[in-house]
Structure 1
Amino acid sequence: MVINEVYDPEYDNPNSPKYKDFVETFTSKMKEYYKSKVKNFKKVVVIRVSRGGALLKLLHNALAELKLASDLAVYKTGTAEEAVKVEHDVVLLLPNNDTSSATYEENLGSVQSATTELLTCTDCVYQVVKEPSVTSVDVNLSGFCERIFPDKDLAEFFEAKNISGKIQCITVCSAEHENQKTCSNNGRCTIYKGKGPFCECNDVITTWYLGQDCALPIQKTPFYVGLSVTLLCLLILIVAMTVYVMTNKQKQARARDNKKKLVNEWINDDFEWTKPNGATSSDYRNPSFTPEVGHHNPMYHPGTPPQWNGLSRGDMWLSDRPAANGAIGRRNRANLPLVHL
């Protein structure tokens, strides 16, 4: 907005006293003006003060020496003076509801009408020498949640979003968030200060959750029952295997002992050879043997052997060989040593 005032070169320096005085005066005057014209007006914020081009001044009957008409008005261009261009924002306080967009458009039109009226107003706060330009801006959502949540450790997890015309601060726990955090098994998403979103799971006393965000639940009671049954089955299997192995070893040991006992008995047993059925003395002759003079032909004597000291010769005749022709030997009860005749 270009106003009909002389631009002071000191306005080039925003830190100069004249610049600050001008801004303070402009803000105060326009605040009262906008307040009477705009319904939801809040404040004026000066953005920039610059040169606005040649300044036009209206002189009422200043050239009388030219004998002009008394009602003549002429414009004289000042060659050294320039107008002041003030760029400023009009801040509105709008209700945060579904009618905020319509209310904003209504107030924007009121600002446009108020600045245009300054072109023809003679007793207003300022006279505008050029058509003012009013532009709308998008809603600035930055810092919105910081103003609602003063605690920065908590506000950092919120972001402002326009939902159905209403600006809301939402988190990843909200369904409206683009990257919503989902908690499984009816878990609840909660924001914790300094930590952020966290899933609170249900029935944590009776349930274990092996996965993230309440995933992979395991009921403790069925787990303990299943574990107990498994351990019991394993114990029974171990006992059964142990009994089987021990029993098998005992059987093998008994089999070895019996075999060893039989072998020892067989080795230590004495046998008596008996005559085969129907055999005669001639059956035992050796036809290839020529006896010497004075010797008898060697033969086996099938008869009863003579007695020596109460023992028969057969009782003293022992052999460690099996009986011939299937004859069954008799164990020597006297356990006499083996004698070869």
Structure 2
Amino acid sequence: MTKTTTVKPIQCENGGTPQPDNKACLCPKGFTGRQCSTVVTEIVPDVLERTVNITMEINETFTDDHKNTSSDAYQFFFKRFNGTVVNSYKKEIPNFLRVENIILSAGEPLPGSQRRKRSLPLKETKSDMASLKVEHDILLNIENVKDPTYTYEDIVEKVKGVLDDIKNNSASELVLNKATASKTDLNVKEVCIKALEGIHEDYQKYYEPINLDGKVECVTPCNGFHSNATICENLGTCEISSQGPTCYCRYNDDFWYLGVDCSLQVHKIGFYAGLGSVAAIAVLTVAFLTAYLIINKRTVKRNKDIKQELVKEWLEDDFEWPPQKKTSYTADRYDNPVYSPGGRHTQDSFGNYKPYFSANQSYTQNFSPEPSIDLRYLQRDQFMKMDRPHIRSSFET
């Protein structure tokens, strides 16, 4: 039993279609890339539509019916105009495309009508005395190359010659009193607008028309002739996406190129050497700090253990108060020499002494009675109780 796998079709953008091998897309005009996601750097139209303005006056009387395209007068004139003028253009003018913008109006007075002008009423002279003025444009397809086979200037001169031939042809159905041909300037902006038809507006805004020695091109910032060109250095490639121009930098076995314009050059060997040095320094630093922390922790713990051991040994030792000499409860137990034998005062002398207080006589004598506390009830050898200090272990701290 064989297992079949379905290959997911490639996703094409901007109207592209997948190729038969499903590896790339067939892109429409103006787009490129594997998925047609980018536009081409420049679009060059094959031909340029140039215009020649023609003004001729025909030896016929202009009437108001010539303004109405559905009138018999207009239809009769238009038939003769196509048979005489337009056919001459097609035969004699190279790269002729078509005739547009035909306008009929009143021209200059007809030749020989000055004498009749005085005898006719004023309202009749305007139409009866004016010739038929015909204005129209000739559209030409000029090759969009630097050196075309027929230049625009050469074709304009050719048009003037055709007009002269029609004017001098006595057998022509239309008799020309006067005919002129004038050149028009090339509007490169309109050329690019027409060339970019079919491309999304998100991409059209990046194009700019330029004229290079008569050749018109519509270029993006990826083209060096653009007014705001994006220059990618070190052989980087510029592409236009919906976000704008972007430089794609190349790389080889020795260098990487980075930056917006690929101007930053990075040597691979130097990069790896620097990265290795930084990694080595980082490893050594971590190792040093780890060793320092371990040694410092051991030192602190050792000092703490030593202190705890000293405290423990001190607490385990028996503590005894030094012995004191016992004395009798006699009068010589007082340290004060006043009450010692042979002193000035005795206990009996204070018993007979009674101070006299009088309102008229201030008491100025010093009174120092013997303390009435009986020292027989005080014991010298009292037991002292001392609580051992509570030592916290390292786990409690």
Q: Smaller-chain TM-score range?
A: 0.5 to 0.7
Determine the C-alpha separation between the residues in 2 that align with 1:214 and 1:21: 69
Residue aligning to 2:139 = 91
Residue aligning to 2:207 = 158
Residue aligning to 2:100 = 45
SS at 2:180's partner residue?
coil
1:12-34 deviation line (CA, Å, top 9, x unaligned): 35677865775575355322112
- Alignment of 1:123 with 2:191, yes or no, is no
Determine the C-alpha separation between the residues in 2 that align with 1:37 and 1:10: 31
CA contact (8 A) 1:100 1:166 kept: no
Aligned length: 257
Structure 2 length-normalised TM:
0.51
SS at 2:189's partner residue?
coil
Residue aligning to 2:384 = none
Select 1:10's aligned residue among 65, 88, 103: 65
Residue aligning to 2:152 = 104
Distance 1:104 1:184, change over 3 A: same
Which structure 1 segments of 5+ residues have no match?
59-73, 273-289, 291-341
Residue aligning to 2:186 = 139
Select 2:294's aligned residue among 240, 243, 267: 243
- Alignment of 1:257 with 2:304, yes or no, is no
Look up the equivalent residue of 1:5 and give its one-letter code: E
Distance 1:157 1:31, change over 3 A: farther
1:282-318 deviation line (CA, Å, top 9, x unaligned): xxxxxxxx9xxxxxxxxxxxxxxxxxxxxxxxxxxxx
Determine the C-alpha separation between the residues in 2 that align with 1:160 and 1:20: 41
Distance 1:45 1:224, change over 3 A: same
Determine the C-alpha separation between the residues in 1 that align with 2:296 and 2:173: 112
Look up the equivalent residue of 1:181 and give its one-letter code: T
Determine the C-alpha separation between the residues in 2 that align with 1:86 and 1:36: 21
Look up the equivalent residue of 2:187 and give its one-letter code: N
RCO (CA 8 Å, sep 6+): is it higher in 1 or 2?
A: 2
Determine the C-alpha separation between the residues in 1 that align with 2:146 and 2:295: 83
Select 1:175's aligned residue among 202, 211, 224: 224
Distance 1:230 1:146, change over 3 A: farther
Q: What displacement does 1:116 show?
A: 3.6
Structure 1 length-normalised TM:
0.58
Distance 1:114 1:225, change over 3 A: same
Select 2:249's aligned residue among 180, 201, 209: 201
Q: What displacement does 1:179 show?
A: 0.8
SS at 1:94's partner residue?
strand
Distance 1:226 1:136, change over 3 A: farther
Look up the equivalent residue of 1:158 and give its one-letter code: Y
Residue aligning to 1:339 = none
Distance 1:216 1:105, change over 3 A: same
SS at 2:161's partner residue?
helix
CA contact (8 A) 1:30 1:44 kept: no
CA contact (8 A) 1:158 1:171 kept: yes
Determine the C-alpha separation between the residues in 1 that align with 2:64 and 2:188: 37
Look up the equivalent residue of 2:155 and give its one-letter code: N
For the pair shown, the structure with the greater C-alpha radius of gyration is: 1
Residue aligning to 2:12 = none
Which structure 2 segments of 5+ residues have no match?
1-55, 118-123, 323-340, 342-397
Distance 1:4 1:259, change over 3 A: farther
